[in-house]
Structure 1
């Protein structure tokens, strides 16, 4: 698919043969703002395009690629994530080049009808680049304050695009919202045109008097990933959804009655808790606090957890363990014929200074609510 004008750049969908040129463009950006990530590997890029796991849209003039935008695809959940936005540093019209490539990429996704939802975070793009997505129907649905990312600021954003009728026809809405999450749902409801949800009563957690056993860390990425895959295939994980991430660290009790999987990224000191396999009675608050301590000892400064929005009991435990909601993501996970809402939680393990609650538009309201929520759980 091509789109061009007589004097303007050519926009086209990349082929596997473009992988070396895309990798060269990527290296030109690594010299400046993106030092926290590894350079793209041409061989892997080519393989991902052949397998339809990643789609790139390019902007070029003559034979030179000037900009590129990519999306990673997860077929099982009909989910996509904006992966990279690259533009040659010497180009004065970077905004135009990226915008044109993004427009073509979204057009290609609609043509393929392969995704219901696409999201973008500033983990791999800057805030300025993310704001381009808002010109293509994406909605701001959260922030990730204090996380190290591709953007130099302490404010990091979440924007989301929905295919037509996904929110109205596929969204599961038969639940009550936890009161602490309701302010974030109210923002998402206005952005996405959703209906109101009743407020849930704050749930009473089960007996919390039992002692937590010692929690030890296993650093064996291939072993951890394979164990996670096996448990997930056998449906043995009580929490098993965090898109586009593979665990590389396992936290376990000596008898393996508690197994919690996490992904850790040393360059950004970021970790995400991805899944749990628990076969014994456990105090969930003590467990989440212990995990925070072990991760901090491991060098982590910022942790994220996502949880089904209808699971008020788990949300209450996460809150009481010191995590604050920072975003609300309708229709994130596919569940048969419906899609489930998720809440994003964050916890900073080191003092990061004050976050200005005004923040840049359109992220300000989410930042204000996060600051209020953080004060109530800290």
Structure 2
């Protein structure tokens, strides 16, 4: 079947919801396939692109995929890649992915596009790999669908972007295995980056209560007031819906919490991330009580102090995104630091060969963080 590729329209929303239900069942935790208002906003967004594949015989939707971006950002996210079970032998996933990248990357609208890919089978990993995406890491327990699933992070860059990465003088030593893996996988070098001892953990905070405000409209307004420049956010493409702060208001942490999927992304901190570094443990504990079995933060690779603070509170370097953000004439590398409070079970993981070294690096980092070093007395 040769499907017709078209830009999604508001009139397609009902059929799109049926498509995502047919592919993922009732547990799909992403608004792109379930929330008509959010779907309508994405279709109308001039910074994003949503394509559908239409069956030429029936006119029904056979597949769907989108690249989402936002004003001021040169990074996009491949989302909602879905092909109806009746059309999975037609190569539609690859066709949609390549057409999206041709329109958003090859034309210069974006510098890179990333995707979080399911690991219940190797099929999704191979689809993005065949379309120029390369693995960057593993995100254990990242989302709760019918069960707790791990995701893989992949990205595709425009030509020449990786050659413009800004140098990083040093990183905490626990990040070294991840850097070596990225070097081998992407063919880039961190030869000038020294692995040094993590900085001492920040002093434990005084026993001031930590409050969590769940008022999405208020949080969005306050966030835009505090951070009019998107370059100050930890995490692009995530609009915070919760605000955490101690009762004396000395700092504010903005996060996106998805209770349906059981995950959370730390988006930004005011006045600066360092002001909240000592509070990572109570922040994570509060979010866990609110339903997040998985918490992640996206931090610049050059921020040795922030990375050390995350390591001290049990966060694991899980993925590395080279040249993620423009900075002057170059590009900054970012690290995804993750922490899960639920038991990790990799027995059901289906990992394609290029992704395996990242899984090995994660397991090594997890063991060095959570397994004690035993001394045997003579």
Query: Could you say which TM-score interval applies, normalised by the shorter chain?
Result: 0.7 to 0.9
State the match for 1:243 in structure 2.
Answer: 236
Q: Tell me the residue number matched to 1:3.
A: none
1:85 matches 2:81: yes
Kept in 1, the 8 Å contact 2:167–2:193? The answer is no
**How far has the Cα of 1:365 moved from its partner?**
1.3
Answer yes or no: is 1:305 the counterpart of 2:297: yes
Quote the Cα distance in structure 2 between the aligned partners of 1:296 and 1:61. 44
Deviation at 1:265, TM superposition (A): 0.7
Give, in whole Å, the separation in 2 of the partners of 1:81 and 1:280: 24
Alpha-carbon distance, 1:293 to partner: 1.4
SS in 1 for 2:194: coil
1:191 aligns with 2:193: no
The partner residue of 1:58 within 26, 39, 52 is 52
Aligned equivalents of 1:30, 1:356: Cα separation in 2: 18
Give the direction of change, closer, same or farther, for the CA distance of 1:157–1:354 in structure 2 (3 Å limit). closer
Q: Matched residues in 1 for 2:258 and 2:120: separation?
A: 16
Aligned to 1:255: 248
Please say if 1:22 is aligned against 2:4.
no
Q: For the Cα contact (< 8 Å) 1:12–1:104, is it kept in 2?
A: no
Instruction: Indicate if the aligned counterparts of 1:358 and 1:368 stay in contact, CA closer than 8 A.
Output: no
Q: Contact between 1:207 and 1:283, CA under 8 Å: does it hold in 2?
A: no
**1:361 matches 2:361:** no
How high is the TM-score relative to the length of structure 1? 0.86
Is 2:331 the partner of 1:339?
A: yes
Q: Secondary structure at the match of 2:141?
A: coil
Distance of aligned partners of 1:17 and 1:298 in 2 relative to their CA distance in 1, 3 Å threshold: closer
Matched pairs, number = 366
Q: How does 1:1-378 map to 2 (within 5 A)?
A: 8-15=2-9, 18-31=12-25, 34-38=27-31, 39-42=33-36, 44-62=38-56, 63-93=59-89, 96-122=91-117, 128-148=123-143, 154-169=149-164, 171-195=165-189, 196-205=191-200, 208=203, 211-233=206-228, 240-278=233-271, 284-285=277-278, 287-353=279-345, 359-378=351-370
Is the Cα contact below 8 Å between 2:185 and 2:354 reproduced in 1?
A: no
CA–CA distance in 2 between the matches of 1:198 and 1:43? 46
Q: Is the 8 A contact 2:106 2:158 kept in 1?
A: no
**Relative to 1, partners in 2 of residues 1:342 and 1:93: Cα closer, same or farther, differing over 3 Å?**
same
Q: Which runs of 5+ in 2 are unaligned?
A: 371-378
RMSD: 3.0
Distance 1:119 1:257, change over 3 A: same
Unaligned runs of 5+ in 1: 1-6
| Superimposed CA distance per residue, residues 207-238 of structure 1 (whole angstroms, 9 cap, x where no aligned partner) | 72663522122221111121111111279x9x
